[in-house]
Amino acid sequence: MARIRYNDRNSICSRGLTKRNTRILMKQHEYQLVLTTCPDVASAERIAQALVSERLAACVNILPVAKSIYLWKGRVESAAEHLLIIKSMVRGYRTIQKRILDLHPYELPEVIAVPVTGGFADYLAWIRDPDKS
């Protein structure tokens, strides 16, 4: 059985997971970080504002310029981009992806969801219901 312990700040720390227990815990993931990059501040802010105002995300961080180096149509390219970290519930992923694709200027935007496996319980509760805070 997985040993889950709560520390004094209500965050979850897990150790000793077997494959079986990991599968059980994976089904319980409710929170996610969705990542996307934008070519400029205007498009990053447009996407962030839409996701938060439409209650699809509790928060979107826009990180300043990151240099991306990637393969595109057989060539090595590079670009300065802004990284968006979107904090949301897993159940909203499809709608978030649709909104990003609707608003994004790229032909093929990055949209990647990363499950949150633990965190400060009060913060996670805020992600679940940001209007309640």
pLDDT-derived band of residue 62, with 50, 70 and 90 as boundaries? very high
Number of domains in the chain: 1
Structural domain harbouring 65: 3-132
Q: Which helix (H) or strand (E) holds 129?
A: none
Per-residue pLDDT tens over the stretch 68-87: 999 999 999 999 999 999 99
**What's the confidence (pLDDT) of residue 12?**
39
- Residue 8 pLDDT > 70, yes or no? no
**Average confidence (pLDDT) over 89-104:** 98
C-alpha angle with apex 125: 122 to 129, nearest 5 degrees?
135
Question: DSSP readout, 28-96?
Answer: T--EEEEEEEESSHHHHHHHHHHHHHTTS-SEEEEEEEEEEEEEETTEEEEEEEEEEEEEEEGGGHHHH
Assign 115 to helix, strand or coil.
strand
**What's the confidence (pLDDT) of residue 132?**
84
CATH number for the domain that contains residue 65? 3.30.70.120
What is the rounded average pLDDT for all residues in the chain? 85
**What's the confidence (pLDDT) of residue 28?**
59
